[in-house]
Structure 1
Amino acid sequence: MPPTPSASGQPRPAAVVNADIRALWRDPRVRLTAEGSARYERLIAEWAAAVRGEVVEAA
């Protein structure tokens, strides 16, 4: 699933997406719901794309 762009159409910074991931899954001992798991997977894909984009920008 493609990453979710911000309202401006630009990808969100990796740090912002990481904060969303941490907020979603505060305690790793607790299992996420099906909906939470789906959101987690979307956020991970978005975070990975943001990291790749930030590396390309730095080069």
Structure 2
Amino acid sequence: MSPDSLTPGAPPPGAPRPAAEVNEQIRALWLRTGGRLSPQERAEYELLVVEWAAAIRDGVIEAA
């Protein structure tokens, strides 16, 4: 993929998503399940929390 084919303002492929986007997905998961997670949903939640924490950490590092 050439740089010309990227959408302006979009993160490069493989770049972490913003923490706010991941947080919104976490909130949607909780709303969708009514606060009760199946084992599969629990695994999804755990992956999202790890992704969210990494995005927060990256944001702190960039701000420093």
| Structure with more of its chain in helix, by fraction | 2
Residue type matched to 2:35 in 1?
Answer: V
- Tell me the distance in 2 between the aligned counterparts of 1:9 and 1:24: 23
**TM-fit CA distance, 1:47:** 0.2
* Structure 1 runs (4+) greater than 4 angstroms displaced: none
Which has the higher relative contact order, 1 or 2, with Cα contacts under 8 A spaced 6 or more apart?
1
- The one-letter amino acid of 1:55's match is V
For the aligned residue pairs, the C-alpha RMSD in angstroms reads: 2.2
Counterpart of 2:30 (choices 19, 22, 25) is 25
Percent identity over the alignment is 54
Distance in 1 (CA, whole Å) between partners of 2:39 and 2:19 is 24
- TM-score (structure 1 length as normaliser): 0.80
- TM-score (norm: length of structure 2): 0.75
Corresponding residue pairs, total = 54
Structure 2's unaligned 5+ residue stretches are 1-10
The yes-or-no answer on 1:34 pairing with 2:26 is no
Flag structure 1 segments of 5+ consecutive residues without an equivalent: 1-5
